Amino acid sequence: MQKRKIGSNGLEVSAIGLGCMGLTFGYGPATDKADAIKLIRAAFERGVTLFDSAEAYGQVNEEMVGEAVQPFREQIVIATKFGFKDGNPAAGLDSRPERIRQVAEESLKRLRTDCIDLFYQHRVDPNVPMEDVAGAVRDLITEGKVKYFGMCEAGVDAIRRAHAVQPLSALQSEYSMFTREPELEIIPTLEALGIGFIPFSPLGKGFLTGKIDAGTTFSSGDVRNNLPRFADGAREANHHLVALIGEIAQRKQATPAQIALAWLLAQKPWIAPIPGTTKLHRLKENVGGATVQLTAEDLRELGEVLAKVPVQGERYNAQMMKTINR
């Protein structure tokens, strides 16, 4: 798979990475550990070199990533995150410098490595000055325990303040044909500062695969049960958008998911999405998105479709929306 330079500090990753959250967190029961390791190794065999984890996804997530990548550790990039109290999103935020250091030390052990390639602040903590957060990561980089600094779901002011202390290599935020808010301020800021972009949920939490409709039900523990965009009325309206994307996909002899990923890759050369999956056939499909070439005419047509059928419903509930774009 083709590689992409993410930011101006030397970080290079596969055009499409693997988001590992769903293996243990957010989408119902955890994947069997042996199956998860097999999936991660299958991703590497298909050219994936960016594997995204976090303390907040449960300790087992980092442990399975660490075990899975041991045979090819030096050839890949491991990303993980700090920022929640005791690693629990429900407990609130904690980006105090001493906590950042603690998370780094614990993550290094679970990942079976001596250096975290990309260390993200999972959410901006309004109770800790951004300069202190960036300074703590800068110290870890100086010590050789971290290579690159990143932030997740951060607003323009926080990005600029952090970048002034320790240059950021990547921002990870939700971005897809389903969620285009980053185009307004975030992407121009990243371009101006030389920071790469790692979109999560590039398939709209599964919606852009074309496999979710008004009749779809989600298992207990699946975060989509509580998201406005997946409420019955919104789901029915949004399915119309996916149907139109599917018509374009058919003409390109691709799937809707592959078109969605190809669209993201066509936006900027420093964007590398991280679709997540627990299934091998979906992994193969997602990797195939990197080979789909969209022409200027394809992009124009997709732009018209997106303008004509606006997405219905917020991507998060009101409480969750308060934690993003700070």
Q: Known catalytic residues?
A: 57
Query: Which DSSP string do the residues of 218-282 spell out, in sequence order?
Result: --TTBGGGG-GGGSHHHHHHHHHHHHHHHHHHHHTTS-HHHHHHHHHHHH-TTB----B-S-HHH
| CA–CA dist 113, 322 (Å, integer) | 34
User: Which residues is 197 bridged to in the sheet?
Assistant: 171, 271
Residue 146's nearest CA partner among 198, 95, 100, 94 is 100
Q: Are 240 and 309 in contact (CB under 8 A)?
A: yes
User: Which residues is 176 bridged to in the sheet?
Assistant: 179
| CA–CA dist 278, 19 (Å, integer) | 10
Q: Residue 313 corresponds to which amino acid?
A: G
DSSP state of 30: P
| CA–CA dist 19, 274 (Å, integer) | 5
Beta strands (DSSP E) in the chain are 3-6, 11-14, 18-19, 50-52, 77-82, 116-121, 146-152, 168-174, 196-200
With a CB cutoff of 8 Å and minimum separation 6, the contacts of 279 are 39
